[in-house]
Amino acid sequence: MRGTSPSDEERLRVMPWWLILIGLLVAALLGWWVLDWLLGEADRAAAPDTRAGLRIDAIRTGLTVVAGTGGGLALLLAARRQWINERAQRHQETVAARDQEHRDRVQAHVEAVAEAGQRHQERQAEAAAYDAAERRLTELYTRAVELLGNDNAAVRLGGLHALERLGQDNPAQRTTIVAVLCAYLRMPPDDDARESEVRRTAQRVVTAHLRADGDAFWPGMRLDLTGARLHDLDASGCTLDDADLTGATCTGVTRFGGARLGGRLVLAATFDELVLDAVTGDAEIVLDGARITGGLHADGAEFGGRVSARRAVLGETSWRGATFRRSVTFDHTTFGGGADFGRASFLGGLSMEHTVFGGHADFRDTLFADLALFRWTEFATDAWFTGARFPGTANFGRARFGGPVSFESATLAHRPRVDRARATASAAHVWPDGTTVAPLDDDWLLLTDP
């Protein structure tokens, strides 16, 4: 407890005994002086017969003065005693308040120490629980990976489902688990029907958690399937944030129909058949060097990002009603079968330079909102641009038309550049107004710019 100091409160001074003695002597001297003075006045002023009465009055008056002086002293002492009592009371109250303040501080400190100790214990408990959970998680993960590497196909299937359950219960592990499953699919497969079932199950486990339709959705997953061997991969309706199938071999039907695509989707792979119907999103689609022996279907797709299919070899393709919001490139690409771009919308630039259409090329009612390049493009059979709209510039320089060409009802904001394009002389053609056509030889017509 903090003690009282002179700076906080004036120290109490004890009245010395001699001060009281002096007061009594002063009172007695004052009374004696008054008595002596009154007696002297009575003796001088009074007649002999009244002198005795005056002296009695003088004595009474002197005693009264002494008594009054003593009473005054007593009153002063009583006042001082009251002041001392009040000061003592204030001192006690101050001391009590300081004691209470000290006790409150001690209690607050004790509570703070107890709370800090409790928090420390809780942190230790949480750390212990976290360590235990991490050890258990590591053990489960290690065990599942060991099962996935087992020689028995049934055991590998168990490992797949163990990894799936582990990822469903532990969101922080999902990226690692998807990476492990993709790595498994990238491994060379055995020529075993049971191994094929294991790989199809791995595909289903990956794609099942990429559909945003319930608690099983794992967002933000990225697929690295470079060089993988896949069969009937079904990613329909999935949400993909970056997927790389560079060099993959995809047998059967590979489906991305209705998928939501973000980031970058690399399909520079070999496909039996590829389905991109009604896909959406702003992903960059890369088909550079792709080989599709069967069909490619992208009807009604909404491509928000750039589409690139340079030096690809495509079979029968259908892009009917598709919308391309950014630039599209098919340079040096070969369409082995028919290519249907009817009612498609190219809102960015389109480049098909050195492209080969082995079948018909259908661009009926297609919108080319920006630059459309068909330079050195080879159309082996029919090329239909009926009802097409060209608000931008079209360039068919050095193109070769091996079948009938029709620009009937096409709308062109600018006269297309043809720059020595050739067309077969054995078919009927409908050219845009103002096109200059002249025979080159018996087999070919030559188109020239004015």
Q: What is the pLDDT of residues 329-354, one digit of tens each?
A: 999 999 999 999 999 999 999 999 99
Say if residue 12's pLDDT is above 70: no
CA torsion sign for 115, 117, 118, 122 is positive
Taking each continuous run of H as one helix and of E as one strand, the counts in the chain are 5, 32
Average pLDDT over residues 36-51: 65
Query: Tokens 């004890």 label which residue?
Result: 14
Q: Using the predicted structure, report yes or no on whether residue 4 has a pLDDT greater than 50.
A: no
Q: At what angle do helices 193-208 and 174-186 cross, to 10 degrees?
A: 150
Cβ within 8 Å of residue 406, ≥6 positions away:
383, 384, 385, 386, 429, 430
Nearest-5° angle of CA 105, CA 108, CA 113? 125
Residue 343: per-residue pLDDT: 98
Closest CA to 199 of 183, 212, 211, 210: 183
Q: Which residue would you say has higher pLDDT here, 261 or 148?
A: 261
Determine the average pLDDT of the residues in 1-24: 59
Residue 64 has pLDDT above 80, yes or no: no
The average pLDDT across 351-377 equals: 97
CA distance 45 to 53: 12
The answer for residues whose C-beta is within 8 angstroms of residue 193's C-beta and 6 or more apart is none
- Has residue 62 got a pLDDT over 90? no
Range in 89-103, 291-305, 343-357 with the lowest mean pLDDT: 89-103
Lowest mean pLDDT segment, chosen from 77-81, 283-287, 342-346, 418-422: 77-81
Q: Is residue 7 over pLDDT 60?
A: no
Percentage above 70 pLDDT, the chain:
89
Give the pLDDT band of residue 51 (cuts 50, 70, 90): low
Q: Is 433 a residue whose pLDDT tops 80?
A: yes
Q: Centre a 10 Å sphere on the Cβ of residue 161 and count the other Cβ atoms it contains.
A: 13
Does 144 or 176 have the greater pLDDT score? 176
What burial class does residue 283 get, using C-beta atoms within 10 Å of its C-beta: 0-12 exposed, 13-18 middle, 19+ buried? buried
- Which pLDDT tens digit goes with each residue over 204-225? 999 999 998 767 899 999 999 9
pLDDT tens track for 188-205: 887 788 889 999 999 999
Which has the higher per-residue pLDDT, 82 or 27? Answer: 82
Average pLDDT over residues 266-293: 97
40-52 as b/e, with b when 16 or more CB fall inside 10 Å?
eebeeeeeeeeee
